[in-house]
A and B are shown apart, each in its own frame.
Chain A
Amino acid sequence: MEVRDVHHAYRRRVVLRGVDLRLRAGVLCGIVGENGAGKSTLLKILSGELRPSHGTVRHGGRFGYCPQHVVLNDALTVRQHLRFLQKAYRLTDLRYAEQVMDVLGFAGYADERAGILSGGTRQKLNVTLALMHDPQVLLLDEPYQGFDWDTYQRFWDLAVRLRDAGRSVLVVSHLAYDTERLDELWRLDGGLLHPDRVEGA
């Protein structure tokens, strides 16, 4: 994924002032920033949800996007969500999705409606829908919200495994926790990305 000179403003409030980023294959990258720094705006632009005022974004292959707010259809079951996205991604089966569900520990909820799932389980499904087609570029916006400690650990384990398999993973968060797990860390501040120190590197 290549991001060049991305600017964005909401009317007169300038949020991004020229963001450049090149996400290489096999890299686990993090972007941190304080509340209101423009992280979600940047991810919306990277995912194609929002058109930047200026600049370009290019993806080189399949990509998956996990939005910060859980985006599900509360009337449908977990399995129905998977079948819907299976058709969207043109997958012949759901074996990979089931593996992701196993790793995140919610395979037992396949026939439950999304509307009655707990917040953490909804987030697991939210992440699974972004991952189930084995994207080459994966964008995750605050992906571990509502996860318990065990799931949180397994999530990072999964992210590292995907990185090791050559996928590019970008995690955006307001907290610089677990930066030692990252290959690259950027801080979004003043509308620009600044390289940050990777703890324990």
Chain B
Amino acid sequence: MRFHWTRFALATGFALIEHGRNRFAMVLVTLFVPLWTTLAFVAMPDTPAHMRLRATGETLAPHGNELTELSGALNAVTLITGFMMFAATFSGNSFDRRLAMAGYPRAHLVLAKVTALALISAAVAAYATAVTCLAWTPRQPLLLAAALFGAGLTYGALGVGFGSVLHREVEGMFAIVMTSIIDLALQNPVTSSGADNPLTRYLPSYGAMQASTAAGFSTSPVPRHLAIQFTWFAGAALIALVGFRRSTRSTLPVTAQPPDPKPRNGDFSLPAPRRTAEPSASLSDTETP
């Protein structure tokens, strides 16, 4: 048990250190979330937007600026987690491969990445919920935080997937931004007349959008739509996992690298130089075929 725990804890700690050293992401979290959500709240008109919420079947008339603020919070959370996970995967892929080939258990590396993603998503979702609550009062703040958390997880997993298959950083950033724009713009009743189209229920943040709208303007629980969001996360995570397995596999026969059954003790040491003269001098007593 200790074997598993130490490897999981070390990999998780290093994954968090890596995210923490992504200064641009830290600035985005600190500034982009309040900036985007506040601008959406202040700049949009507060005229009621009539809409039918599929999750509860209710007809709602939320203020346009509050609805857009929710969409902005989802947008900010998904872009940040997607970007952070993409950046970590893109830059860390080769080193993960090196670790796996050297014998680091891949399951522990994967679990560590998922744990780091969950902690980041939870922190960003809590922050975005708090910022939202400063501007107006959603009916169910905890549900809002859960919806943002689910969307953050999903985009984080998509970021890992993009990081595994794309070859340039700009490609990954473009993929994440475009996915988020299409995903959220189509669902926003303020900006899209097609928000009621049945196709929107297949979008990556559909469950989170429904749940967060219910959290903002309704008192009904929406467990099914939260579940839809977590199913999206599970699907995206599965694809990311397949990508990770592919990029860290070894082509050598399994029997070719017998792992040491016991940890090697540290009593081995570098052999002493045969002579201390110039290194090339050692060749005089080197046998060559």
| A residues lining the B interface (CB < 8 Å) | 45, 47-52, 56-59, 61-63, 65, 67, 69, 71-76, 80, 83-85, 87-96, 99-100, 103, 113, 129, 133-134, 153, 156-158, 160-162, 164-165, 178, 180-184, 198, 200-201
* 0/1 interface trace, chain B 263-288, chain A, CB 8 Å (1 if under): 11110111111100001101100111
Number of interface residues of B (CB under 8 A): 49
Query: B246 CB to closest chain A CB, in angstroms?
Result: 12
Task: Please determine whether B286 and A47 come into contact, CB atoms closer than 8 angstroms.
Answer: no
Chain A residues with Cβ below 8 Å from B7 are 87
Task: Please determine whether A92 and B18 come into contact, CB atoms closer than 8 angstroms.
Answer: no
Give the contacting residue for B104; candidates A62, A88, A100, A113; CB below 8 A: A88
Chain B residues with Cβ below 8 Å from A49 are 97, 101, 250-251
Minimum-distance CB pairs A-B, first 7: A93-B266, A48-B252, A201-B288, A165-B271, A88-B104, A88-B102, A51-B251
A-B pair number, CB within 8 angstroms:
140
Q: How far is the CA of A74 from the CA of B17 in the complex (A)?
A: 11
Q: How far is the CA of A170 from the CA of B127 in the complex (A)?
A: 53
Query: A64 CB to closest chain B CB, in angstroms?
Result: 8
Most buried by B among A69, A87, A92, A93: A87
Task: Please determine whether B103 and A90 come into contact, CB atoms closer than 8 angstroms.
Answer: yes
Give the contacting residue for B268; candidates A94, A96, A181, A183; CB below 8 A: A96
Q: Which of B41-49, B88-96, B203-211, B219-227 contacts A (4 or more CB under 8 A)?
A: B88-96
Query: B4 CB to closest chain A CB, in angstroms?
Result: 11
Task: Please determine whether B270 and A161 come into contact, CB atoms closer than 8 angstroms.
Answer: yes
Chain A residues with Cβ below 8 Å from B257 are 48, 59, 62-63
The 5 sampled A-B contact pairs (Cβ below 8 Å) are: A58-B256, A62-B257, A69-B94, A84-B11, A95-B266
* 0/1 interface trace, chain B 91-123, chain A, CB 8 Å (1 if under): 110110111011110000000000000000000
Q: How far is the CA of A176 from the CA of B41 in the complex (A)?
A: 68
Contacts A93-B266, A96-B269, A161-B273; A73 near B18 (Cβ below 8 A): yes
* Nearest B-chain residue to A1, judged by Cβ: B256
Query: A152 CB to closest chain B CB, in angstroms?
Result: 10
